[in-house]
Chain A
């Protein structure tokens, strides 16, 4: 399978994050600091990460998981792992 491009990853990640956070996708821009969104904490970010790992059947590096701030960061570490 050819590796997915960043443009292919971003919409899927946005959709998963929106679903876990209970927000419409339009409210999530790639650069937004996820933990600054009202009602979002590290627990919700971890749940989003877990869902993404299941979807792509990957395991992200611990350091990446605990460092990432935005959907953009997520797409970067997924791209790196795939």
Chain B
């Protein structure tokens, strides 16, 4: 499997995602505080959470790897005056982000590039912070990714990774080849490996980074997916008009994901820093 195959899901018609995600089209976990929180509130809270974990004060240079529809790129440019580079292999996302950046008047601070992080040459570009929300799962060379991220971080710069993980090495070995896992990995995404947190920690340490925080976001992701499922149900007809059979496929994917939290899988944020 080559990494060129990894973007099939993300390159679907953007309108599909507009029908079940929040208004920013953030395709990763929100952060919930109270039972009445809406999806949009949870996603905004999560973006502020990421900014705090990275220690953003305003004006930093940030790289978002696997930027999706630009929710984090645009938010950090608008709310924290950051100069943000986004990178993603899914071509359809770039036009969409560029259009929004113009509308929000942050085009001068937003630069979105097509391609794979592993293959991108950053030259002498350096960043104060790097984010990877749900993207490292699609990258086969974990230690290579951490080493490269460290090499382009400025001293004292932070790396925020949030990822869905098998609960431990045993679950990884036991459930990595089940039907549900195959469906999510192969039919939906093309390639993905939900490594246990210990592997992520090890890759961060081996790259020379210091761990500054680990956060369990499993329950937040469960609630996020409940919101997405409700939206898929509400818009199933339109989703199927755009892509026949998509509503059912999405529902199955999201239900598989939500059945696993705590039993086989967890969702963690792992923050590390280029410092001793």
**Chain A residues with a Cβ under 8 A of chain B:** 41-44, 46-47, 49-50, 62, 65
Contacts and interface: CB of A to CB of B under 8 A. Distances in A.
A42 B262 CA distance: 15
Interface of B: 178-180, 255-256, 259-260, 262-264
Contacts of B263: 46, 49-50, 62, 65
Contacts of B255: 43, 47
Contacts of B178: 42
B216 to A, nearest CB: 15
Q: Is chain A's interface secondary structure helix, strand, loop, or mixed overall? A: helix
13 contacts: A41-B179, A42-B179, A42-B180, A43-B180, A43-B255, A43-B256, A46-B260, A46-B264, A47-B255, A47-B259, A49-B263, A50-B259, A65-B263
A19 to B, nearest CB: 15
Contacts of B259: 43-44, 46-47, 50
B63 to A, nearest CB: 36
Contacts of B180: 41-43
B183 to A, nearest CB: 10
A20 to B, nearest CB: 10
Nearest to A65: B263
